[in-house]
Amino acid sequence: MFSAYSELQSIYAQLYRLGHVESILAWDRSAMMPPGGSRARTAAEAEFRRLIHGLRRQPRLAGLISQAEDEPLDALQRANLREIRRDWLEASALPESLIAASAQATAQCEHAWRDQRPANDWPGFMENFGEVLRLAREEALRLSDRTGLAPYDALIERYEPGMRMDVLDRMFDGLQGWLPDMVTAAMAMQERAPAIAPAGPFPLAAQRELCRALAGTLGFDFNAGRLDESAHPFTGGVPEDVRITVRYREDDFLQALNGTLHECGHGRYAQGLPREWLEQPLGRPRSFAIHESQSLFVEMQIGRSRAFAGVLAPMLGAHFGDRAGFDVDNLYRLMTRVAPGPIRVAADELSYPAHIILRYEIERDLIGGEIEAGDIPALWDEKMMRLLGVDTRGDFRDGCMQDIHWAKGAFGYFPSYALGAMYAAQWFVSLRRDLEGPEECIANGRLKPIFDWLQAQIWSQASRWETLELVRRVSGNELDPSHLKAHLGARYLGWGGH
């Protein structure tokens, strides 16, 4: 007997397998592909994306979705149908020609960015970026027409369903109300007990071994994943084959160490998604902010805690030898040192949200047409100085060209980082409620009970619930930014006796 829902399942299983191939192509382009392969790979990825998009927006899906709504489905099937409908609505709003053009423009811009950024070549970047922005605006307008949302809200919907600019404006305005004073106060406190920076160099081979050992400590499954190197750290692949990357500097071991913590958080989430749902939208991560909450939970809540410094200290000695500054107290001071700087991925935990606010305000106004691409450098410099007190004039490399996101056309993504930090702080409050002594587990390097909690509460749920419902189920409340403020105040100003 024909079932519309079963037909939809078959179509989305096919899409998942094609997406598997697409994700490995993207990983290879960023991590392994020689420069000479760029042009051919760009064309191949554009063609592949066009093929996938054509399957996602085929006209018969509308009828199948409508028929499936009247079929006797259980709760999980209803949730999967909800996610199928969301995916189809987005895909059907965008013609294949636009998807192919966007894929080619972003691949070209991203590949050129890898050389243009170190050369501080903003004019060269603009030659490709103008087309990326034009196409992103067209996508936003088409999605807006289909959903009734404002153009930038329609892009946010791709990454964080249900989130809107008015909520972000309110949350980020609140952050700006207390964050600068907390940064100033923390820096003043830390002047009384400065951290010693261990002297390099830190051989890259030893760093690679350290990061692999750290990933193992965090439970990353190397039978279903890899740790590699790229210009910009990322997590790609699929849950059965997770690809994480970091980047190394011989004079700074913390960059790769923190990158490994962060990307392993993403990787553990991906590897923990329920296998029985993987080929369906129901089995996808709930949202990008929830994904970021997992990376930030591992990197910040666990990785930069005083308890985890005790785990890291002997690992550093084993890989680099005994050096001044590798003791636990100094390592903790080093990992929690507040020093506002220009680079987002190197930012301390406390000043990091300011980097996101800056990018959010710029891309919101870019998509809204209130500013143009040529306005970015001046706005970047002004906001950097206002929010962080950092002068970036003339420094495009470590200023407005530092991230890969805009080159990839990922407008609407950046808010996920700040939202992820808020979720992560709220998760740890819930973890303390449900698990006795999580700090002791961290100090002993016994992380399994913590990851088991994440598995039960978040990973195993995938996209079964809308984001707000998932948050209520895990924490009992809606997203509450006060948890982030309390966490940062406890860690950096000693609030609450921490």
Dump pLDDT digits (tens) for 52-76.
999 999 999 999 999 999 999 999 9
Does the pLDDT of residue 497 top 70, yes or no? no
Position 370 scores a pLDDT of 97
Distances (CA, A) of 469 to 69, 87, 435, 438, 452: 22, 19, 22, 25, 21
Does residue 134 lie within any of the structural domains? yes
User: What's the mean pLDDT in 442-466?
Assistant: 97
- Do 142 and 269 belong together in one domain? no
Does 29 score more than 50 pLDDT? yes
User: Is there a contact between 459 and 321 (Cβ–Cβ < 8 Å)?
Assistant: no
Q: How many Cβ atoms sit within 10 Å of the Cβ of residue 86? A: 15
> Are residue 372 and residue 306 in the same domain, yes or no?
yes
Task: Please give the tally of structural domains in the chain.
Answer: 2
Told to judge if 127 belongs to the known catalytic residues of this protein, a careful annotator would answer no
In a domain, 160, yes or no: no
Write the secondary structure of 10-40 as one string of H (helix), E (strand) and C (coil).
HHHHHHHHHHHHHHHHHHHHHHCCCHHHHHH
Structure tokens at 156: 């946010």
Strand-strand pairing, 241-246 and 225-229: parallel
Measure the N-to-C terminal CA separation of the chain; round to a whole number of Å. 62
pLDDT in tens, 155-209: 999 999 999 999 999 999 999 999 999 999 999 999 999 999 999 899 999 999 9
CATH of residue 477's domain is 1.10.1370.30
For residues 132 and 176, membership in a common domain is answered with no
Q: What is the mean pLDDT of residues 26-54?
A: 89
Distance separating alpha carbons of residues 455 and 449, to the nearest angstrom: 10
Letter for the amino acid at 339?
A
Domain boundary at 120, 152, 184, which?
152
- What CA–CA distance (Å, rounded) separates 188 from 224? 45
Look at residue 159 and tell me if it is in a domain.
Answer: no
> Which two tokens mark 444?
């002993």
For 8-27, what is the mean pLDDT? 96
Span 8-36, average pLDDT:
94
**Same-domain status, 256 and 111:** no
- Nearest-angstrom CA–CA distance, 100 and 94: 10
**Same domain, residue pair 147 and 174:** no
- Rounded to whole angstroms, the Cα distance separating 263 from 255 reads 12
- What's the domain range around 407? 166-497
Out of 117, 152, 187, pick the residue that ends a domain. 152
Of 152, 176, 206, which residue is a domain's last? 152
Three-state DSSP class for residue 286: coil
Residues 328 and 199 in one domain: yes
pLDDT confidence of residue 42? 83
Per-residue confidence (pLDDT) for residue 498, from 0 to 100: 46
Report the alpha-carbon distance of residue 245 to residue 256 in Å, rounded. Answer: 9
Question: Is residue 72 one of the residues assigned to a domain?
Answer: yes
Evaluate if residue 327 carries a pLDDT over 50: yes
Check whether residue 128 and residue 232 sit in a common domain: no
**Residue 107 confidence (pLDDT):** 87
pLDDT reported for residue 192: 93
Same domain, 392 and 256: yes
Helices 165-191 & 415-434, crossing angle to 10 degrees? 70
Residue with tokens 């989430």: 269
pLDDT at 1 over 80: no
Are the CB atoms for 415 and 168 separated by under 8 Å?
A: yes
Q: Is residue 73 part of a domain?
A: yes
Confidence of residue 407 (pLDDT cuts 50, 70, 90): very high
Distance CA 129, CA 135 (A): 10
Identify whether 201 is preceded by a cis peptide bond (ω within 30 of 0).
Answer: yes
114 and 206 co-located in one domain? no
pLDDT at position 106: 93
Which member of 45, 157, 263, 292 is catalytic? Answer: 263
For residues 205 and 318, membership in a common domain is answered with yes
> Is 224 in the same domain as 178?
yes
Residue 157 domain-assigned (yes or no): no
pLDDT tens-place string over residues 230-273: 987 899 999 999 999 999 999 999 999 999 999 999 999 999 99
Is 404 contained in some domain? yes
Angle, in degrees to the nearest 10, between helices 60-69 and 75-92: 150
Of 93-102, 290-299, 353-362, 402-411, the poorest mean pLDDT is in 93-102
Percent pLDDT > 70 in the chain is 100
259 and 306 inside one domain: yes
Give the mean pLDDT of 206-215: 98
Residue 196 falls inside a structural domain: yes
